[in-house]
Structure 1
Amino acid sequence: MIEVRTLLRLPDGAFVQIESCEERPPDAQYVEGAIELIADGVQILTVADWDCIDQLWSYISDMIHALPMEGEASTFFPDQPIMLKFLRSSPGRLLVSCRVGDDLRQVNVNESDFLAALRSAGESFFGKMSTLLPGNSQGYDIARHSLAS
């Protein structure tokens, strides 16, 4: 089972699920938030890994786009030395890992289920962000296109 939740970080430091957010983020160029990613009971990404959330989702969209051609994809978080990596371990299986300092979180998952969950969550994220920050919607549309391919 794959769970993906996106949270925006409010000015007071609290986090709110993006679906519940009705207020425009205070800085359209630096939208803070987090992705909670749990795959087969393993928490890969946590709220403690918060960063520039729209940039991170764009990076993940690029990873999803590159994965079929390369068999692997990785990215660092926008403002932290956290590495997220997807590696095709065998046909239909994906090794998903996140390295935060010396901490390595990883799990081997069904590739199609994992990518479907990320695509759905990413699509919801970019759709909501286009509503909250219409001035950024062109960039969000480009990232959505990467999700779909």
Structure 2
Amino acid sequence: MPETSAADPLRSADGGFVPVSAWSGGFADPDRIDGAIVLSVDGQVFLDEDYGDLVDRLWAYILTMLEEPGEKDSVEAFFPGRPLRLAFRRVGGGRLPASVGR
């Protein structure tokens, strides 16, 4: 089984990222939470702070997309605030490779 690591730091007012567990501020707009998803599988980083966006919406997109491949061979969506495409493609063996790009 692959070793997976995930975190979702939030973007602070100074533009840096703060782990959710250390976040002490509120949100100017709770419907637009800026942050990042940091995701690695077997030591290979797939997403990091360079892909920062509206993290609450991005998680919702990912979860919705993970439900859809049972019905389709592939699914894709764009990051909520950036022209980056996130895609999942169903392959044999229960694998679901993902890609990020323009």
Runs of 4+ deviating beyond 6 Å: none
CA distance in 1, matches of 2:86, 2:93: 20
What is the match of residue 59 of structure 2? Answer: 57
What residue ranges of structure 1 are gaps of 5+ in the alignment? 102-149
Percent of paired sites with the same residue: 32
What is the match of residue 48 of structure 1? Answer: 50
Please report the RMSD computed on the Cα atoms of aligned residues, expressed in angstroms: 1.5
What is the match of residue 7 of structure 2? Answer: 5
Contact 1:72-1:85 within 8 A present in 2 as well? yes
What is the match of residue 39 of structure 1? Answer: 41
Task: From the two aligned structures, give the one with the greater helix fraction.
Answer: 1
Contact 1:10-1:25 within 8 A present in 2 as well? no
What residue ranges of structure 2 are gaps of 5+ in the alignment? none
What is the match of residue 81 of structure 1? Answer: 83
Show CA shifts across 1:2-25 (max 9, x none).
Answer: 111101101111111112223212
Q: How far 1:76 sits from its partner (Å)? A: 0.7
TM-score normalized by the length of structure 2: 0.86
Q: How far 1:80 sits from its partner (Å)? A: 0.7
